[in-house]
Copies of this chain bind each other. A is one copy, B any other.
Amino acid sequence: MKIYVLRLGHRPARDKRITTHVALTARAFGASGFVLASVNDEVVVKSIKKVCDVWGGSSFEVLTGVDPVRYINEWRRSGGAVIHLTMYGIHIDEVINTLRTLGKDLLVVVGAEKVPKVIFELADYNVAIGHQPHSEVAALAVFLDRLFNGKELHLIYPDAKLCIVPSGRGKKVVRCE
């Protein structure tokens, strides 16, 4: 099962950091790629690449300036399913088992404030990480954590240069073996 994350509605002046957090969460929580819709933003791409250089993930694909409707349609045509995270959707508790056993590649779509109606219509599943307003970063993290049953939080990329030695106090970082 391949997971990609598609980020909609990025406004470079305003969303640089949120979008970077979405991308880093995608990478850290076991997605295989991050797709930024409509715009190119070199600052975001550089931040992700910098993390991949040190902590691994050269296989993590980053695409920008992608037409979201075309991308979603192509994803579905090649047999994948599209999940749009929105507070208006079906509660995650109702659908997570179905999604886990679907046996399809999943495109997880997260928006900024206003998501066009067409996305709600094109998605195979509109899924709510609770019905309160919060954050696309939080929504993505909880979705992937539930999808992978928490296994993703033990992820270490094989090409990582640095590794953390877990510590109750302070920071212990070593060169990976």
B90, B152, B172: which contacts A130 (Cβ < 8 A)?
B152
Residues of chain B contacted by A14 (CB below 8 angstroms):
17
Assess whether A29 is in contact with B138, with CB atoms less than 8 Å apart.
Answer: yes
Q: Which of A20-28, A36-44, A61-69, A100-108 contacts B (4 or more CB under 8 A)?
A: A20-28
Shortest Cβ distance from A167 into chain B, in angstroms? 6
Residues of chain B contacted by A55 (CB below 8 angstroms):
132-133
Tally of chain A residues near chain B (CB < 8 A) = 58
Q: How far is the CA of A35 from the CA of B167 in the complex (A)?
A: 26
Q: Does A147 contact B (CB under 8 A)?
A: no
Assess whether B170 is in contact with A117, with CB atoms less than 8 Å apart.
Answer: yes
Q: Which 6 A-B pairs have the closest CB atoms?
A: A138-B141, A21-B135, A28-B132, A130-B153, A28-B134, A137-B137
A residues 113-132 in Cβ contact with B at 8 Å: 117, 120-121, 125-126, 128-132
